[in-house]
Amino acid sequence: MTLQMNFLKLNIILCLCTIGFVKAQDLSVEQMRFLTPLWEGDRFDDGRPRVGDDILKRMKQVSIEEAWGVLRNEGYHNQFESGWEPLHDDIPMVGRALTVQYLPNRPDVAQQIIKKGKAEGAVGNTNSWPIDRLVEGDIYVADGFGKIVDGTLIGDNLGNAIYANSKNGVVFNASSRDLEGLSQIEGFNAFVRGWHPSFLTEVMLLNINFPIRIGAATVMPGDVILAKKEGVVFIPAHLAEKVVVTSEVVRLRDLFGISRLKEGIYTPGQIDNKWTDEIEKDFSDWLKDHMDELPVSKDQIKALLEKRTW
């Protein structure tokens, strides 16, 4: 009976997704809520989780290792992907995912998608349609099935349009062209699989704002993207704040430990092991005394101190 119920639930989900695709090539608000049930905050009109701007700003200071560690501890083992060729590998990129899936071209399906899109007011080639949906803070995340030659989803013209709408960049499991032109867009970044001078051909748009696969990672619309030199972490919206807060605590504890080691107050063995109550109290006092000097906002430090018992 349980197995039958599971098959029934799966069929219902597939039917709902199919209905959503025929209607507008993206999930309905109800479907989006169904697939992101742990998010309790604000949402965009399309149903995507809307992680707050403050969390996105603080996320830029989070290391890949810290984010990965939190997600692993929460049971999310498939949220990191490496092997990128970033436009700027020294500039971190953070934003909310707008997801897009492309497939190798199949004329009968592609024509239906184009016909439907044009009827709903879509303008230009299909690879520009997601760009019209971007809002500030978004990152255009596309599964282009790893295609490099003739898999260039954007050049510098579309790159400028992306930045105008999102003030952000892209993560493509595909390639891009016009590296030189894109590098001149101040504030824009791109994590792609490769760079190639060819034009996009034999690729068709399948859907917008569906769950997609990027390499070994599963990505949901509204996930928070943390992209740095090491790779890209796709953070479920409901865990974004926990990732940030955990990182800030680790950062502060590391600074305290280094400071006290330099001062000769504690030994490496004392700092590298579980702290005693005495050290924990010293840490709280140190936070109060250095609040104006630390690389975490005073409000966040005060919130941390309120939760501490030492």
DSSP 257-300: HHHHHHTTSS-HHHHHSPPPHHHHHHHHHHHHHTTTTSSS-HHH
Q: How many domains does the chain have?
A: 3
Q: Are residues 145 and 207 in the same domain?
A: yes
> Which domain does 186 fall in, by range?
78-235
Rounded Cα gap, residues 230 and 29, in angstroms: 34
At residue 202, the pLDDT reads 98
Distant-in-sequence contacts of 73-79, Cβ < 8 A, 24+ apart: 74/239, 74/242, 76/236, 76/239, 78/216, 78/217, 78/218, 79/217, 79/218, 79/233, 79/234, 79/235, 79/236
Indicate if the pLDDT at residue 225 is higher than 80. yes
- pLDDT, one tens digit per residue, over 106-138 is 999 999 999 999 998 999 999 999 999 999 999
Categorize the per-residue pLDDT at 309 as very low, low, confident or very high, splitting at 50, 70 and 90: confident
Q: Which two tokens stand for residue 76?
A: 């999310």
CB 198 within 8 A of CB 148: no
Prediction pTM value:
0.86
Categorize the per-residue pLDDT at 303 as very low, low, confident or very high, splitting at 50, 70 and 90: confident
CB 63 within 8 A of CB 248: no
**Of 235, 254, 269, which marks where a domain is finished?**
235
Q: Are residues 95 and 231 in the same domain?
A: yes
Q: Are residues 137 and 264 in the same domain?
A: no
Cα torsion for 62, 68, 73, 75, to the nearest 10°?
Answer: 130
Q: In this structure, is residue 72 part of a structural domain?
A: no
Q: Are residues 209 and 292 in the same domain?
A: no
Q: Are residues 112 and 156 in the same domain?
A: yes
Indicate if the pLDDT at residue 5 is higher than 70. no
